[in-house]
Amino acid sequence: MTQRRTTPIVAGFSLILATAPLVVIFKGLFEWFGPMLLTVAVIVGAAQGMRALRRGTLIQSLAMLTAFLLVTTLLFRSGGEYLGFLPSPATFAHFARLAQLAGTDVSDQAIPVDATDGLVFLLVTCIGALAIITDLIVSTFNSAAVVGLPLLTLYVAAVAISPVGVPWLLFIPGAVGYVWLLMTDNVERVRRYGRRFSGDGRGIDRWEPSPLATTGRWLALIAIPVALIIPSLLPGMDSGLLAMFYNSGGPGGSGDGPGGNPSRVDPVAALQGALDAGATTEMGTVTTDNPNPGNMKMWVASTLTEQGFQASITPSANAGPIGEGIPPPTVAENVESMEWTATFTASGLADYALPLYGYPTQIEAEGDWVYDPLTGTVSSVSRSTAGLSFTYTYVDYEYTVEQLRAAAELSDLSQIYRDNTSVPDNPYVADLVEELTAGLTSPYDKVMAIHDHFSRDNGFSYELSTEDGWSGSAIVDFLENKSGFCQQYAGAMAWMVRQADIPARVAIGMTRGNVVREGFRVTNFNFHSWVEVYFDGLGWVPFDPTPASSVRTPTEYEWAPDPDRAGNSTPGENPNDPANPDDPDAETGPQDESDPNGQAAQAITFDAYIPPPTWPMWVAVGMAGVGVLLIPAAARSQRRRRRLSVSPDQPQDATDNAWRELTDTVIDLGIPLDPSRSPRATAAHLVEAANLTDTPRAAVEHLAAAEERSRYAPRPPTGMTLPLAYRVARVGLYRSVKPLARLRADLAPVTLLSSWRRGVRSAVEAVSLGMIRLRLLLTRRHRRSDLAGPTP
């Protein structure tokens, strides 16, 4: 016999080909595909080397694990390795850190994700484990067809993670690799016994079809459609697997609930979503010497796609620990400013970003918090705000209309311009912005023209749910239907401002909160998003296009008054000002939580897409998997009942069925059986091989005697009934083998699977014969028409 050497290599290639759907999950290609390819190659190479040295399975497994550890160490070095490549305690600490970063990236990045070190480490770890499992399946268990399960795992993972689906063309490489693996396995199985010959002694080509290859192709024909169809039928697949790790913030999120359970703000200001508010949940309290603070910013979303703005928790290269000092913002000196102090005490908020008024200048907070001057936000990768109380000083700027109107257009060479003006190609938005800004030259006037477009006079309204559109674009649907909530307003305005070549982004956080004796109390009703526009020499200036009447404790800016209130209040005057004597909160505390700001409780400010729970999907997947595994067992049990249910009035058939069932049970249990022996000799062999005694021995001998007599006499012997004798014999045979053999006999009975394989082979041969006959028939007709010649 020749050693199998090619099949494990092909299995490694198949695994690599099956990762094709991951291109829709990650941005770029070489950042994640290169490390993954190197990992699989090193693992397969180590196993092949041990097999070339004729080492056993244990040595091969240890070699693969060692190679996996070494290549992972080289790819993700911490700097503290022994001799530069041998893992040390610092290496494993670095691995734990990368795993933690991967979990954070999974929670906070949107598809497609950046190939960060944490996510690439997670991918390499998973692929490396699958490579080891695949090699063991092929080389140790000699079951190449089972490799389809790891490949199916990659398929299901890609379909479940991607919220926009996976193009079907990306499944073809993995399918081709699987068929290639089955064909290679067939060739090597045959070559282990020498060269194949036909009936007349001629050699057969190594790729000539064989019954085993036919079975493999049928397995591929069945498994591949199952891998493609089943994921699309499972409920909740389009919500994305990342929803499992998503603890959505805002009211109604899956991670929220009454009683102060921790919640997180969703850093993605999507244009689409559904909002379903539950009971009020307190996020925390704020004390500040500022009588009228603005919004508290937590995240900034500056990456724009067709579906809206996306935020990343990864700080910029300019970010630094808050303990090293916070650089002041670049704002002109003639802008009026005031410095204030605030303390935030979290009670229900558990997020990895600090809610901050204005521009922070100094922060005292426990943990490794990092300030990013490009976004003006403070975040951490390991410390959340759960139970945190921190104090900080901040600056509020009061811009004037004259200052903003005097700001010049930002140079297109500026980094801020390049990072915050890109937009998807959308003719509808481009035409609308051109119409609104026609004849305007000042960036501020263009921004205000866009800002004032979102008014009641133009048909816009604040609604919890929006109508589905037919345009295929989220922003076009919103601009045409003209109803939505804060994130849709903010995302649409920021997009349109960018379309006018003015840098803009979306800020996400909370409004100032309700007035209480301690200061301001913020709840889930205070989550909000707004727009920041960059003006040369003035920095990032906030604008809020959402109707103020629908926002709890809104911040209305003097340079950008709510267009729906222009005739009812002075620009810059906030009806929710705590200094306002008409504000009931100023004396009596907060309003009834069921009636925020005099509105119905449904007027919530934070829009987060609340994905459906994913546990039903995984329960369905688990039940479907268990059901598939139990199909052979159920079919085998049905066959057993059918055989043993033959009436005693048909003694010969009943005896034959009982004996066949006994021999099939022996074969399924893996007990050697020679079919050429007589029933009596077979019974003696089973008694010895299974060490049967007492009743099981008598049952086997009874069945053997009945089978012998059925061949020469019309009736079986008297005594125990045949079904009872079989059951007693079966109990004794099961006790004689190991538990693994019993499990295999129940879940994967050899006799049943062999009969299925013969049935598939017969069907294939029948179809092939029919195709041959059809081809011969067509050929004969064609020849007859040629011989008949043209009609005169």
Q: What CATH code is carried by the domain that includes residue 499?
A: 3.10.620
- Separation between Cα atoms, residue 638 and residue 653, nearest integer Å: 17
pLDDT given at position 227: 53
CA-to-CA separations, 632 to 85, 147, 387, 578, in angstroms, rounded: 49, 19, 54, 72
Tens digits of per-residue pLDDT, 220-269? 555 555 555 554 444 433 333 333 323 333 333 333 333 333 344 445 43
pLDDT given at position 715: 59
- Separation between Cα atoms, residue 249 and residue 57, nearest integer Å: 50
**Is the pLDDT score of 577 beyond 80?**
no
Specify the range with the lowest mean pLDDT, choosing from 73-87, 329-343, 606-620, 772-786: 606-620
Tens digits of per-residue pLDDT, 117-161? 888 888 888 889 988 998 888 887 777 777 877 777 777 777 767
For residues 218 and 103, state if they share a domain: yes
Let me know if residue 137 belongs to a domain.
Answer: yes
For residues 673 and 737, state if they share a domain: yes
Most confident listed range (181-190, 235-244, 577-586): 181-190
Using the Cα atoms of residue 14, residue 20, residue 26 and residue 32 in order, give the sign of their dihedral: positive
Got the DSSP string for 16-77? Answer: HHTTGGGGGTBSSSHHHHHHHHHHHHHHHHHHHHHHHTT--HHHHHHHHHHHHHHHHHHHT-
pLDDT given at position 502: 94
Let me know if residue 19 belongs to a domain.
Answer: yes
How large is the average pLDDT for residues 593-606? Answer: 32
E strand or H helix at 665, and its extent? helix 651-668
Specify the range with the lowest mean pLDDT, choosing from 43-57, 505-519, 585-599: 585-599
- Separation between Cα atoms, residue 417 and residue 438, nearest integer Å: 21
For residues 140 and 103, state if they share a domain: yes
Beta bridge partners of 523: 282
How large is the average pLDDT for residues 772-782? Answer: 77
For residues 772 and 742, state if they share a domain: no
Let me know if residue 346 belongs to a domain.
Answer: no
Give the strand pairing for 370-372 and 308-310: unpaired
Let me know if residue 53 belongs to a domain.
Answer: yes
pLDDT given at position 672: 86
Let me know: does 98 contact 117? Beta carbons within 8 Å: yes
Let me know if residue 254 belongs to a domain.
Answer: no
Query: Which of residues 713, 729, 747 is at a domain's end?
Result: 747
For residues 730 and 764, state if they share a domain: no
Tens digits of per-residue pLDDT, 445-495? 999 999 999 988 888 887 755 555 444 577 888 888 888 777 788 889 999
For residues 588 and 649, state if they share a domain: no
Tell me the CB-side half-sphere exposure of residue 368, using CA atoms within 13 A: 4
For residues 594 and 564, state if they share a domain: yes
E strand or H helix at 480, and its extent? helix 474-481
Tokens 């179809």, residue located: 767
Based on C-alpha coordinates, what's the Rg of the chain?
Answer: 36
- Separation between Cα atoms, residue 657 and residue 590, nearest integer Å: 82
User: In sequence order, which residues have a C-beta less than 8 Å from that of residue 437 and are 6 or more positions away?
Assistant: 445, 446, 449, 450, 500
- Tell me the residue length of the chain: 792
Number of other CB atoms surrounding residue 46 within 10 Å: 22
**Is the pLDDT score of 307 beyond 90?**
no
Tens digits of per-residue pLDDT, 712-771? 665 555 545 788 888 888 888 888 888 888 888 888 888 888 888 888 888 888 888 888
Tens digits of per-residue pLDDT, 322-353? 888 888 777 877 888 889 999 999 988 888 88
**Is the pLDDT score of 207 beyond 70?**
no
For residues 712 and 767, state if they share a domain: no
Beta bridge partners of 743: none
- Separation between Cα atoms, residue 541 and residue 571, nearest integer Å: 16
Let me know: does 128 contact 72? Beta carbons within 8 Å: yes
Q: How confident is the model at residue 504 (pLDDT cuts 50, 70, 90)?
A: very high
Range of the domain at 634: 615-747
Let me know if residue 35 belongs to a domain.
Answer: yes
User: In sequence order, which residues have a C-beta less than 8 Å from that of residue 497 and are 6 or more positions away?
Assistant: 446, 447, 450, 504, 531, 533
pLDDT given at position 589: 35
Short-list 95, 74, 94, CA closest to 85: 74
% of the chain residues with pLDDT over 70? 74
Tokens 């938005």, residue located: 429
Mean pLDDT of all residues belonging to the chain:
75
Let me know: does 503 contact 410? Beta carbons within 8 Å: yes
- Separation between Cα atoms, residue 771 and residue 120, nearest integer Å: 50
For residues 56 and 98, state if they share a domain: yes
What's the domain count of the chain?
A: 4
Let me know if residue 342 belongs to a domain.
Answer: no
Beta bridge partners of 282: 523
pLDDT given at position 737: 87
Let me know if residue 607 belongs to a domain.
Answer: no
**Is the pLDDT score of 189 beyond 60?**
yes
User: In sequence order, which residues have a C-beta less than 8 Å from that of residue 763 and are 6 or more positions away?
Assistant: none
For residues 670 and 775, state if they share a domain: no
Query: Which of residues 598, 626, 647 is at a domain's end?
Result: 598
For residues 464 and 443, state if they share a domain: yes
For residues 55 and 11, state if they share a domain: yes
Query: Which of residues 598, 627, 660 is at a domain's end?
Result: 598
Q: Which residues of 166-185 are buried (b: 16+ CB within 10 A; e: fewer)?
A: beeebbebbbbbbbbbbbbb
